[in-house]
Structure 1
Amino acid sequence: MKRLLAQIGITYFSVLAAAFYLPEIAVVVIGGIAVILTVLFMIIRKTRRTIYIPLMALTVVIACAVHIGYGLIAVQPVVETYGDETHTVKAVLTEEPYQSYSKHYYRLKAQEVDGEKAGFKLLLKTPTDIDAEPDDILTFTSELKVSDNQYYRAKGYYLVSDDYGIEVETETPETHSLYYRAIQLRRFMRKSLDALLPSDCAALCRAVLIGDKYALSLDTRDHFRYAGASYFIVVSGMHFAVVIMLLFRLMKRLNRWVRFALIMAFIVLYAAVTGFQSSVLRAGIMMVFTVFGMTIRRQPYPLNHLGLAGTIMPFIVSPYGAGDVGLILSFFATMGILLWARPLLPKLCLKTKTGYIPFFHISEKLHYYKERKVERLPLKDKSKEPFSFRILLMKLWNSTAALLSVSLAANVMVFPISVFIFHEFSLVTLLSALLLYAEIYLILVLSLAVCILYPLGFLRYVAILLAYPLMWLCKLVLWLVDGIASLPFAHFRVGQAFIYAWLAVTVILGIVVILYRNHYRYLKYAVLCSLIILLGGGLTQQALQMNTFSLEVYSCDNGLCAGINKGGKLYLLQMDANTKQLYTLWDHLSSRYGSADVALCCNENEIRHFQLYRDDEFAISALLLYDKEQKYQNEANIVPFDKDCTYVVDDDVVIRLSVVNYTAVPYITAGERRILIIPPGCEIDDIPKELRTADVILLSQAQQGYDQLRCEDMIISDNSDLSMLSADALKDSYHHVFFTDQGDVRYRLR
């Protein structure tokens, strides 16, 4: 029965998570097939006797029904009533605002819409910093767009206000909620760490302790991502478990029910301080069952607890909440550890003549000593081999093997999911786990101790003393992450088409293994084959990208959107198009590149496009902006200019910017090629004569004066009939003339 409860919970959560990412019709088909299978399994005597088979099919039916029902009852009415229309909204700010790149994010709970009562969640994104605190009431008028972002939808934000020039009125409430006290505690913890540590070390401690990863610099976050160690800078179930088990050991002499009550209070408090993140709630539910079982002196069954957490979580958050990427990764990583960490350990350990294998948990070692004491045996087993340097090395390796088995078991489940969702993977994930695991959890424990001791009078000096080793630990971790992320071929990004092909091959291999006799024997070969295919594809794409140096002009109807792809890195040269076309293009670039090193705004009006779409999904390291009124001089990640200048991107790409009629005209030297971009609103007659000669010239539309341009090739981003009529005349003057009406144009630079 224990195994059955685990299977039901894991199946229920897995189906809900998959349904969130599948089309609605696919969920209906899966549910219909599951109904038929449930009936068949109940009719067939052989499967009816094995009760878990029909129960699994019934669980799939229930999960599909819950997903569809929630969409019809809770989501569709909100989307159809308020979506894609302008409304006056009165809402409560439920969480601390945060900033990512050039945008500020405000998570709201609507109270009234157009004077009528409402109760849905919405997200306000704006480049303007609104002076508002949690529990404040915000009133604004804006278009509420239906969110297509899976991350927001999983968090319950189905409507998003993404208004550039929004005006917001704020009102302070008379009383604050209980959760506001947890937010105040979170802020106090941040202030304590900021007061005792350098900014980079304090930011790392805040990320590890309370999940405040936005305090980390963009480069540091990228380094953790490239090193395959991003799970260290978010509060996951493993962080939670470390803290809870530490408290359990410290309070072991208290009455068990008093200890249970104190730990329950801490679980609720810590979950509130971390913002009730889904992964923390999942770990909290599991810890409640585990600690309760230990309190009533029952043997805990972690897989059972995971199954119960998978069943309860969608009711606490929402059925769509099962699609939260953080929760999915945390859930299946825990499942992998519980299923395979212990069986993997003996295969990785080195055995001595006495068959030495390290204890998998510290509790097992304590239990071993306790049994020997009860049996009046010496604590040290003299039958073991005497100490030697060889035995010491073997013990060190076996201790490392215990950590390696946990990392391998977690990655077996998480790796394919993360590749499918993020289209990238790291080859150094296991190395990062081995080198960073101990330091990260020491940082977690020391950060918590510092935050507790710092406000306690004379104990403040103890916190100051602890801050020194904490600072050096943080510097060590940052140095290690930087070094690991810099290793050759540490990080790969693969295309979506290849991901689907790889998943299809993996599924076929899995089916063959299941149908073949002795399939468990061949499972490791199927896994190895799948990894070889993925790694081979990643290496091939990486090798091809290393030699890539091309100019890409993207099809966006009317407007000019272009970039340089050098070795898989993207330098955006121009982004001018209508909002609808840009949204599709931005999504394409996000999935293909993930980020851009440099982007260029030729005039202040274009910055609106970047502010609308620049967020966590598409990072831009530096934004060059013509800023004639000097409004953006102090903005992070923005490099403003108000006169002619030259920007050196790297050894091969140099951008010369000439200001013509309040618009920057880019003249790029890319390798041995020269590129002139004539942005919209710029007349050819106004461009300096020395810039009118280039190897390739980009135009947003065919215009008068093109006979003054001297180039080999011309690319025009215009799909209008007028441009097509002038194509023949242009082709008489230049070697090649390309139009974006048939799709993207890729021009090889080297």
Structure 2
Amino acid sequence: MKRLFGLIGFTFLFVLSAVFYSDFNEIVFAIIGSLGLLSVAVGIFLIASKKNKSFGKSLCVFAFAVIYSAGNMIGYSEYINNTVINNYSDKEITASGYICDEIITTDSSCSFVIKTDKINGQPSDAKIQIISYSNVDAEPFEKVNFTAHTYKNNVNSQISHGIFLKAYSYDGFKIEPTGEKATTFYSFAVSIRRAMKNSLDMLLPEDYSTLCRAVLLGEKTALDSSVKDDFSLTGTSFLIVVSGMHLVIITSFVLLLVRKLTKNRFLITAFTTFTVIAFMAVTGFAHSVVRAGVMMIIVSFASSNLRIADSLNNLGFAAIVLTAFNPYAVADIGMLLSFSATTGIILWSRLIERSVLRFFHYKNKRKDGFVGTVVYYIKRLFKICVNMLSVSVSAFLWILPITAVAFNRISPTVILVSLLCEPFVSALLVCSLLCSVLFICPFISFFAYPFGLVSGLCSKAILWLVSTFSQLPFSTIKTHSLYWFVWIGVSVLLAIGGLFVINRKFYVKISVSVSISVLVIGASLNVLLTADNGEMKIYNVGNGVFATVNCPDSCSVISCGGNRASADDVTADISERYSDIEYMIIPNQNNKYSSLERFAVTKFDLNNILVYDNDIEKQNLLNAFDGNSRQTFGGNSHFTLNLSDTVTDEVICVDNTMFQFIKGKNMTVLFVPTDADLSNLPEKYRNPDCLLIDKVPENFDLISCNTVIFSGLEKQFKKNYDSIKEISPTVISTSERNITVNLNGG
């Protein structure tokens, strides 16, 4: 079998992704099981009948991979993930363990991961992410004893590395360093990473050093939020996420130097392997880097033995390495994008390049004379540009469906921006590597300054390009609408149909026209149908209220409280459609309405923060809390916020209570906080369509409404159910799910 590892590896990725992202859906398991059994049956029949033994063997291998990967995911989930979650989630624990990576610090917080050896006195191997809003007196790889209230971790990128729990410093967290440190190969790599980061910080201005750290080491936390948004809007976030592209550039540069010193292919292989492993360790063994590293090591060993490695087989083997013992690796969407882009480059880039060169009748034979030489090199440059274009286009087309589904947006400018930025990124990678390493070497540190200068200039060029393109009207297109998925489905069907058509030139013209027509018509209808959309979304956040008003072009938060464990889910849901928040309203400083503010502040650009508090001293403190502009006010205030052309939020502050009356075209919602007295509310606001509460207010009999929405825990809902029923016959709760109210459609 020519591509055994390729078949097994890609089957692993497909099955594990289907199971994980369907949330272990029974129907998906039934389809996968049926597919495995059918493949076994057909494979055995073909082998026994000797009609097509090779294909029969492939089907049997495919069936084995399907069954193994599905069983592996079930076993890992049941005996590793669920064991940790069931035993320790949402509980206070006392544990000991080692900080197993670098402590990441920002202006307002720090985070690190502890790998435990004991929890509550019992041996236990678990990884817990700690998020602290104060300094922690501990060092990386130091053993610590700690007490914490743990929650289930819902961040997929962390779950993919086995970090299933998280804890916060303000939930009774206590930590006691022991002074004992673990010394490993990885701890040495982290020390080098920290030294390189310090070198870049000392050599370059902050804006440039943070970009160099992101591109070289994959550390995005220090980047300004506006810079992150620019990369996100242009679809070039892969430039600031350490990936296979970065590893290839670094390794190619090292090999260029090594080949100047020796031609021995075994020494070259040894240097390649060392460089790959060192870079993987320094960048934290990111899945996309490990994928590229495994492929590169295989190619290097094959080259040293005068063999040619099959790219798809290598890619499949890398998938096996990453997922065979950690099926949750597919939770890292970056890894899936890496595999998808690489597959596209392997399968399509050469075909696209040949097609473009054939279209331009490309021939490049060197002719005598100055003019002939100039033309020759211009044509060579043209071929290099076509090669870069074909790589970018093939990668973009293969990651398009994943990007559209996972992030609900695509960036049409990504190909052009990446083509313009890649030369600067390549130079930045090499120069920032050299300057960060040379600067920590005694006696020769002065050699770092020229490379630091080039790194700064490249950073400036990249930031300018990305910022310029991000401001274009169609730098990003939202893909959460139905028309987008219809277009993808039609395009896929047209592409499959092309495999069975004889006259492909004519078919390509027709299929491209049909595809573009479906996209344009769908987008136009979507604009017409959603122009007046406005909805209110109340999230399941446990004890508290987190509610947003979502319009086509803006999002506003009318309360941001709830359990901190729900912060990741809420912010992830909002960020699928919005990168900034127009208004954030804090009805009062009670945790039920404000506890998740700090998460929103770090995740989004907040244009207006309104805080109601009668305490003047607190107002002054809030105004200088974290650099975000807050408008604090107290007393009996009354004003109206225009959340969109069709939705308003009328704020009525009476007797230390803030009421909010949200009004759309066809629906009104009254938000009443805890301990409110409805007798203080003006009579004209007492007849909303919906009433949002988290506790039965005083004088609730004064309210007349069609629906009551209760935001809180299930036990609170049951306790208050009889009283709530007296307000309205229709009562719904967020204790099990998020609730959406269409403000303009009834």
TM-score w.r.t. structure 1 length? 0.80
Assess if the C-alpha contact under 8 Å between 2:676 and 2:698 holds in 1. no
TM-superposed CA distance for 1:243, in Å, is: 0.6
CA deviation map 1:2-61 (0-9, x unaligned) = 444433333333333333223253235413431332232122232324343433333323
CA 1:455–1:145 in structure 2 vs 1: closer, same or farther (change >3 Å)? closer
Structure 1 match to 2:243: 236
Match of 2:317 among 300, 308, 314: 308
Q: Contact conserved, 2:405 with 2:479, CA < 8 A, in 1?
A: no
Q: 1:334 to 1:536 in 2, by over 3 A?
A: farther
**1:610 aligned to which of 582, 588, 596:** 596
Counterpart Cα distance in 1 of 2:64 and 2:701? 72
Secondary structure of 2:743 counterpart: strand
Question: For 2:173, which of 167, 174, 192 is the aligned residue?
Answer: 167
Mean CA deviation greater in 64-73 or 715-724 = 715-724
Q: Which amino acid letter does the alignment assign opposite residue 442 of structure 1? A: A
Q: State which of 39, 42, 49 in structure 2 corresponds to 1:40.
A: 42
Corresponding letter in the other structure for 1:610: L
CA gap 1:562/1:115 in 2 versus in 1, 3 angstroms: closer
- Cross-structure match for 1:445: 430
Any residues of structure 2 matched to 1:212-223 within 5 Å, and which? 212-223=219-230
Counterpart amino acid of 2:589?
Answer: E
SS at match of 2:139: coil
CA distance change for structure 1 residues 155 and 395 in 2, over 3 Å: closer, same or farther? same
- Aligned match of 2:716: none
1:571 aligns to 2:556 (yes or no): yes
Partners of 2:42 and 2:59 within 8 A in 1:
no
Aligned-CA RMSD value: 4.5
| TM-aligned CA deviation for residue 505 of structure 1 | 4.9
Distance in 1, Cα, partners of 2:281 & 2:296: 15
Matches within 5 A, 1:190-589: 190-252=197-259, 253-254=261-262, 255-315=264-324, 318-349=326-357, 355-356=362-363, 381-382=366-367, 386-387=371-372, 396-457=381-442, 459-495=444-480, 505=490, 516=500, 518=502, 533=518, 537-538=522-523, 540-541=525-526, 547-548=531-532, 550=534, 552=536, 554=538, 562-576=547-561, 589=574
Alpha carbons of 1:686 and 1:104: their partners in 2 closer, same or farther (altered >3 Å)? farther
CA distance in structure 1 between the aligned counterparts of 2:512 and 2:77, rounded to whole angstroms: 36
Counterpart in the other structure of 1:371? none
Counterpart Cα distance in 2 of 1:384 and 1:647: 77
Residue 55, structure 1, aligned to residue 55, structure 2: no
Is residue 130 of structure 1 aligned with residue 121 of structure 2?
no
SS at match of 2:308: coil
CA distance in 2, matches of 1:239, 1:259: 19
Amino acid at match of 2:559: Q
**CA 1:393 to 1:664, structure 2 compared with 1: closer, same or farther past 3 Å?**
farther
Aligned residues: 709
Deviation readout 1:561-590 (Å, 9 max, x if unpaired): 544444432011223567899998766545
Structure 2 gaps of 5+ residues are 712-720
SS at match of 1:490: coil
Note the alpha carbon deviations across 1:429-455, whole angstroms, 9 max, x for none.
112122211111111111111112223
Change (3 A) 1:174 1:477: same
Distance verdict in 2 for CA 1:484–1:583, change over 3 Å: closer
2:675 to 672, 676, 681: 681
Query: Which whole-Å CA distance do the structure 1 matches of 2:253 and 2:443 have between them?
Result: 24
* AA matched with 2:339: F
The one-letter code sitting in structure 2 at the alignment partner of 1:345 is E
Instruction: Name the stretch that deviates more: 73-82 or 116-125.
Output: 73-82
Farther-moved stretch of structure 1 (459-468 vs 108-117)? 459-468
SS of match in other structure, 1:235: coil
Q: Is the 8 A contact 1:449 1:463 kept in 2?
A: yes
Aligned twin of 2:715: none
**2:65 is matched by which residue type in structure 1?**
T
- What is the DSSP-based 3-state SS (H/G/I as helix, E as strand, rest coil) of the residue aligned with 1:487? coil
Deviates most, 609-618 or 192-201: 609-618
Residue aligned with 1:495, SS: coil
Secondary structure, counterpart of 1:477 in structure 2 = helix
| 5+ residue gaps, structure 1 | 358-379, 729-737
Letter in 2 for 1:681: D
Cα distance in 2 between the residues matched to 1:717 and 1:446: 58
**Mapped partners of 1:81, 1:675: distance in 2:** 41
Contact between 2:561 and 2:597, CA under 8 Å: does it hold in 1? Answer: no
Q: 1:504-563 deviations in whole A, cap 9, x for unaligned?
A: 55665566566x465987689668756764565456545655x44746364879976544
Contact 1:107/1:122 (<8 A) preserved: yes
Structure 2 CA distance for partners of 1:125 and 1:454, relative to 1, 3 Å? closer
Q: CA deviation at 1:242?
A: 0.8
User: Amino acid of the residue matched to residue 72 of structure 2?
Assistant: V
Distance 2:197 2:316 in 1: 34
User: How far did residue 225 of structure 1 move?
Assistant: 0.8
Residues 1:27 and 2:33 are matched in the alignment: no
Secondary structure of the equivalent of 1:488?
coil
Question: 1:661 and 1:127 mapped to 2: Cα distance?
Answer: 33
Contact 1:677–1:699, Cα closer than 8 Å, also in 2: yes
Q: Is the 8 A contact 2:670 2:692 kept in 1?
A: no
SS where residue 570 of structure 1 aligns? strand
Whether the 8 Å contact between 1:210 and 1:273 is mirrored in structure 2 is yes
The aligned counterpart of 1:70 is 76
Change over 3 Å in CA distance of 1:704–1:658 after alignment to 2: closer
CA distance in 2, matches of 1:205, 1:113: 39
> CA deviation digits over 1:330-355, x for unaligned, max 9?
112111111111111022237777x4
- Looking at structure 2, the residues matched to 453 and 539 of structure 1 have their Cα atoms a distance apart, in angstroms, of 56
**What CA distance in whole angstroms lies between the structure 2 residues aligned with 1:430 and 1:384?**
37
Distance 1:288 1:586, change over 3 A: closer
What CA distance in whole angstroms lies between the structure 2 residues aligned with 1:695 and 1:438?
A: 63
Residues 116-163 of structure 1: per-residue CA shift (max 9 Å, x gap)? 011122333454553432223344444443444433332212333357
Query: Contact 1:625–1:639 (CA<8 Å) still a contact in 2?
Result: no
Q: Is the 8 Å Cα contact of residues 691 and 705 (structure 2) preserved in structure 1?
A: no
Q: Contact conserved, 1:139 with 1:170, CA < 8 A, in 2? A: yes
Greater shift, 399-408 or 144-153, is seen at 144-153
Query: Is the CA contact 1:256–1:295 (under 8 Å) kept in the aligned structure 2?
Result: yes
Checking the alignment, whether the CA contact within 8 Å between 1:560 and 1:700 is kept in structure 2 is no
CA contact under 8 A between 2:106 and 2:222: conserved in structure 1?
A: no
- Aligned CA distance change for structure 1 residues 319 and 740 (closer, same or farther; 3 Å): closer
Segment drifting more, 99-108 vs 84-93: 99-108
Contact 2:533 2:552 in 1 (8 A): yes
Aligned pair in 2 of structure 1 residues 503, 382: CA closer, same or farther (>3 Å)? closer
For residues 584 and 433 of structure 1, the distance between their equivalents in structure 2, rounded to whole angstroms, comes to 31
The TM-score with structure 2 as length reference comes to 0.81
- What secondary structure sits across from 2:307 in the alignment? coil
Please say if 1:89 is aligned against 2:98. Answer: no
- Letter in structure 1 aligned against 2:349: A
Tell me the amino acid that sits aligned with residue 273 of structure 2. M
* Helix, strand or coil at the partner of 2:125: coil
Decide whether the 8 Å contact of 1:624 with 1:638 is kept in 2: no
Q: Percent identity?
A: 25
- 1:658-699 per-residue CA deviation (whole Å, 9 max, x = no partner) reads 87666666799999x999965443446768x9x998998996
Give the corresponding residue for 1:377.
none
Counterpart CA distance in 1 for 2:503 and 2:332 is: 33
